[in-house]
C-alpha cells in the first residue's frame, strides 16, 4: 500500500460552492499514535458557514430536479472515486485516528463507498403511498403522496468511524435530493476533505456538497445548527451534544435525526456456543479500542460459566496486539486523543476506587518509543462492582468492560435494561426460543443474537432513550430526508 498521508504538512481547507477556501484561524490535526502534527485545518468562522449554507441553498433547485437516474449515477461515481483513491483514504483515516490498517481497509473505507451505492440504488426502488377514498357521490378520490427533499441538510459527524458515519448520512440525504453542509469532527478532518475532492472529480454540481471544518460550541458546529436557512440537522455523537443541538435548533423548529451514545449490554447464557461467545464478545468490547457506539461495555454471564468466561475473555484481551497502525498484526491503536485517554483513565480509576477486581489492564502500555507520546490505553476487564457504580452506569467509549454474573434470565434482562441508554444489545445462546424471547424484551434499537455489528444497510438503525431520536437505514433514512406531500384527486 502507498501509505503517504494525503495533504500532510499542508492546510486542510473548507469546501464551499465547489471551491476550497481557507480561513483566518488554523488548528492542528494531531496523530494520536505519537502526538505529531499531521497538518493544519482551516476553522470555518460564521461568515464561511453562512457562505456554505447559501451555496447549498443556491444549488438546491437544480439538484432536486435532476432526473433521479442521473443523480444516482453521480453518487455511484462518488463511490467509484473513493475506491480509486482507496489507499489515500486509508492513510488519512489511519493518521487521524490511529486505527489499524486492517480496520481502515476492511471496515471504514469500504463502507464509505458502499453507503453511496446502497442509497443510490435504494432510492430508485422507493414506492409511494396511494389510497382509494370513498366519496358520497360514489366516484371516489385517489390520494397519493410524493416525496420532496427537505432542502439544506446539516450533517455533523463524530471521530470514531469518520468516513463511514459521515457518508452514512450524506448518501441517503443526497440520494433523496437534498443539498448538504457537512461538518466532520475536528479530530478527523482528513477523509472528509478527500471526499470533497472526490465529489468534485465525480461531477457533483458545485454547492450540492459543502464541507466546513471546526469545533462545536462557539464554532462551525454551533454556527451551522443555528443557521436560519438550514432545514434539518442530522447528528451522530454524544448524548449531551445532542441535547445542546436540540436547544440550538429549537427556534427554527428544524427536523432532527440523532444517533447518540450507548451503554450496551451483552448477555451470555449457559447454553451459548462458548468459543463463539468469547470471540464475539472480544470483538464487541475491543473493536476500534471500544470507540464504536455499538461496543459492549457491560457483560452479564450466567453464574455456571462465569469464571471460565472471565478467564477466556482475559486471554483474548491480553492477546490484543497494540501498536503502530501500519503493522499488519496490529489489532488496536490508540484512543482518539489525550483528552479521551484522560476520560477513559478516570473511569478506570473510578472502578478501582469503587473496589473493582482488575482482571486485566487498567492502565497505559509502555512502548519505550514515540508511541509513549500517543493516547494508548490497555484493554481492560473489571469484575466485582455493583450495578450502580460510575463505570457500569456511564458510557466510557474505551476498550473496557465490566462483567457481572446472573442466575436467571429475568435477572439478566432486568440488569441489561437498567440504563438510561438504549442503543444495542448482544445475546449469546443456542436456544432458539430463548433467543426470540429475550431479544424481544431488550429496550434497545438493535439486538444481535450470536453476532455483533453484522450490518444490513436496509434495516432500522438507531437507539431509544438517551441513545437517539429516529432511525436511519434503508427507507428510514430516506423518509427522514424527505417530506411527503399528499395529493388528493377527486375522481
Q: How far is the CB of 262 from ligand 6OD (least distance, A)?
A: 8
Candidates 173-181, 220-228, 306-314, 448-456: pick the segment binding ligand NAD (CB under 6 A).
Answer: 220-228
Task: Name the one residue in this structure whose C-alpha cell is 457483560.
Answer: 299
Q: Which of 88, 222, 259, 297 is catalytic?
A: 259
Contact call for residue 467 and ligand 6OD (CB under 6 A): no
> Interface with ligand NAD includes 160 (CB under 6 A)?
yes
Question: Could you tell me the smallest distance in angstroms from the CB atom of residue 397 to ligand NAD?
Answer: 5
Total count of residues recorded for the chain: 491
**452: contact with ligand NAD by CB under 6 A:** no
Burial class (CB in 10 A: 0-12, 13-18, 19+), 115: buried
Selection from ligand NAD, ligand 6OD, none that 455 binds (CB < 5 to 8 A by kind) is: ligand 6OD
168 touches, from ligand NAD, ligand 6OD, none (C-beta below 5 to 8 Å by class): ligand 6OD
Binding of residue 336 to ligand 6OD (CB under 6 A): no
Catalytic residue status for 293? yes
CB neighbours of residue 181 within 10 Å: 30
Query: Is the Cβ of residue 232 or residue 278 nearer to ligand NAD in the bound state?
Result: 232
List 88, 186, 272, 293, catalytic entry: 293
Nearest-approach distance from CB 458 to ligand 6OD, in angstroms: 11
Alpha carbon distance 274, 309 (integer Å): 8
State the nearest-atom distance from the C-beta of 168 to ligand 6OD, in Å: 5
Distance CA 452, CA 230 (A): 36
Is 237 a binding residue for ligand NAD by CB under 6 A? The answer is yes
Nearest-approach distance from CB 434 to ligand NAD, in angstroms: 27
**Of these partners, ligand NAD, ligand 6OD, none, which one is at the site of residue 238 (CB under 5 to 8 Å by kind)?**
ligand NAD
In whole angstroms, what is the distance from residue 252 CA to residue 60 CA?
19
Long-range pairs for 239-246 at CB < 8 Å and ≥24 separation?
239/395, 239/421, 239/466, 239/467, 241/216, 242/468, 242/469, 244/216, 244/217, 245/156, 245/221
By C-beta, is 12 or 294 nearer to ligand 6OD? 294
- Give the range of 66-74, 178-186, 272-280, 449-457 binding ligand NAD by CB under 6 A: 178-186
Annotation says 88 is catalytic: no
In whole angstroms, the minimum distance from the beta carbon of 349 to ligand 6OD comes to: 25
Contact call for residue 210 and ligand NAD (CB under 6 A): no
Indicate whether 461 belongs to the interface with ligand 6OD (CB under 6 A): yes
Residue 180 binding target from ligand 6OD, ligand NAD, none, CB below 5 to 8 Å by type: none
Report the residue from 32, 158, 325, 422 that binds ligand NAD according to the rule CB under 6 A. Answer: 158
State yes or no: residue 160 binds ligand 6OD (CB under 6 A): yes
Give residues in contact with ligand NAD (CB under 6 A): 156-160, 165, 183, 185-186, 215-217, 221-222, 225, 236-238, 241, 244-245, 259-262, 293, 395, 397, 423, 463, 468
Active site residues: 259, 293
Amino acid at each position: 500500500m502507498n501509505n503517504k498521508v494525503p495533504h500532510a504538512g499542508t492546510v486542510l481547507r473548507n469546501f464551499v460552492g465547489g471551491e476550497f477556501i481557507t480561513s483566518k484561524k488554523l488548528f492542528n490535526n494531531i496523530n494520536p499514535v505519537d502526538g505529531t502534527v499531521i497538518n493544519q485545518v482551516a476553522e470555518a468562522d460564521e461568515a464561511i458557514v453562512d457562505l456554505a449554507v447559501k451555496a447549498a441553498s443556491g444549488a438546491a433547485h437544480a439538484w432536486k430536479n435532476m432526473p433521479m437516474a442521473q443523480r444516482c449515477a453521480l453518487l455511484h461515481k462518488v463511490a467509484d472515486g473513493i475506491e480509486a483513491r482507496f489507499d489515500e483514504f486509508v492513510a488519512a483515516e489511519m493518521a487521524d485516528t490511529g486505527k489499524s490498517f486492517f480496520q481502515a481497509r476492511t471496515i471504514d473505507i469500504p463502507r464509505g463507498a458502499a453507503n453511496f451505492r446502497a442509497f443510490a440504488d435504494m432510492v430508485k426502488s422507493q414506492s409511494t403511498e396511494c389510497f382509494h377514498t370513498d366519496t358520497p357521490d360514489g366516484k371516489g378520490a385517489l390520494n397519493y403522496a410524493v416525496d420532496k427533499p427537505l432542502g439544506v441538510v446539516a450533517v455533523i459527524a463524530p471521530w470514531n468511524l469518520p468516513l463511514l458515519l459521515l457518508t452514512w448520512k450524506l448518501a441517503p440525504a443526497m440520494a433523496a435530493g437534498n443539498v448538504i453542509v457537512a461538518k466532520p469532527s475536528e479530530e478527523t478532518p482528513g477523509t472528509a476533505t478527500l471526499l470533497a475532492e472526490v465529489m468534485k472529480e465525480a461531477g457533483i454540481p458545485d454547492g450540492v456538497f459543502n464541507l466546513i471544518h471546526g469545533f462545536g460550541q462557539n464554532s462551525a458546529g454551533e454556527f451551522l445548527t443555528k443557521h436560519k436557512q438550514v432545514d434539518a440537522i442530522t447528528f451522530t455523537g454524544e448524548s449531551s451534544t445532542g441535547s445542546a443541538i436540540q436547544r440550538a435548533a429549537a427556534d427554527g423548529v428544524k427536523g432532527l435525526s440523532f444517533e447518540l451514545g450507548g451503554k450496551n449490554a451483552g448477555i451470555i447464557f449457559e447454553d451459548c456456543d462458548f468459543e463463539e461467545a468469547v470471540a464475539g464478545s472480544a470483538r464487541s468490547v475491543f473493536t476500534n479500542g471500544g470507540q464504536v457506539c455499538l461496543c459492549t461495555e457491560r457483560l452479564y454471564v450466567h453464574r455456571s460459566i462465569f469464571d471460565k468466561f472471565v478467564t477466556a475473555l482475559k486471554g483474548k484481551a491480553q492477546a490484543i496486539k497494540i501498536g503502530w497502525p501500519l503493522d499488519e498484526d496490529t489489532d488496536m491503536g490508540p484512543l482518539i486523543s489525550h483528552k479521551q485517554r484522560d476520560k477513559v483513565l478516570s473511569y478506570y480509576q473510578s472502578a478501582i476506587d469503587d473496589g473493582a477486581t482488575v482482571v486485566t489492564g487498567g492502565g497505559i502500555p509502555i512502548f519505550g518509543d514515540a508511541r509513549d507520546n500517543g493516547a494508548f490505553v490497555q484493554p481492560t476487564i473489571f469484575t466485582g462492582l455493583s450495578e450502580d457504580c460510575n463505570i457500569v452506569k456511564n458510557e466510557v467509549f474505551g476498550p473496557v468492560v465490566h462483567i457481572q454474573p446472573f442466575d436467571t434470565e429475568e435477572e439478566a434482562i432486568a440488569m441489561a435494561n437498567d440504563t438510561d441508554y438504549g442503543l444495542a444489545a448482544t445475546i449469546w445462546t443456542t436456544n432458539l426460543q430463548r433467543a426470540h424471547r429475550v431479544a424481544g424484551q431488550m429496550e434497545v434499537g438493535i439486538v444481535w443474537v450470536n453476532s455483533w455489528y453484522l450490518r444490513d444497510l436496509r434495516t432500522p438503525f438507531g437507539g431509544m432513550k438517551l441513545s437517539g431520536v429516529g432511525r436511519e437505514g434503508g427507507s428510514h433514512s430516506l423518509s427522514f430526508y424527505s417530506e411527503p406531500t399528499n395529493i388528493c384527486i377527486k375522481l
